[in-house]
Amino acid sequence: MVFSSPGNIIDEHKAILASIGKTVNMELMTIVCTAKILDEDMGNFINNSFVKASIIVSQKEVQAIPNDAIVKSGDDYYVFIVEKMDGQIYYLQKVKVDIGIRSKYFTEIIDGGDLTKVLISGVYNL
């Protein structure tokens, strides 16, 4: 599992679940769990504090691009591909893609063709 402290969500740490509670807190939609921290630098943690965690249930290698590179229009998702460059002028093509699993920073692209020249930032400024 991967977790971060609520005050510092950028620094992520790894842990292994040691025990999982048997009941769900329906008000908070949470389950009490205990984990063993794998990081060597544990000096920044406070005993018995709460963290925000993501439990990784499986891993696979996929074609993925940053979430900021994808534009949603209606029910469809698009990326912009650089077709050609003429000095400071870029010619872009809007390409429909089928997406799969989304994570915190990346989205799986199931079908989108060649994405080697995809625009990965600034797409909402177009």
Beta carbons of 98 and 107 less than 8 angstroms apart: no
Are residues 94 and 76 both part of a single domain? yes
Residue 77's domain is classified under what CATH number?
2.40.420.20
Tell me the mean pLDDT in the region 82-109. Answer: 89
Are residues 35 and 68 both part of a single domain? no
Q: If you average pLDDT over each of 4-13, 35-44, 82-91, which comes out highest?
A: 82-91
Domain count, the chain: 2
Are residues 68 and 48 both part of a single domain? no
What's the domain range around 86?
64-125
Residue 80 backbone zone (phi > 0: left; psi -120 to 50: alpha; other: beta): beta
Phi, then psi, of 69 in degrees rounded to 5:
-85, -5
Tell me the mean pLDDT in the region 51-80. Answer: 84
What per-residue confidence (pLDDT) applies to 42?
64
What per-residue confidence (pLDDT) applies to 115?
82
Are residues 40 and 8 both part of a single domain? yes
What per-residue confidence (pLDDT) applies to 20?
85
Are residues 78 and 121 both part of a single domain? yes
What per-residue confidence (pLDDT) applies to 13?
81
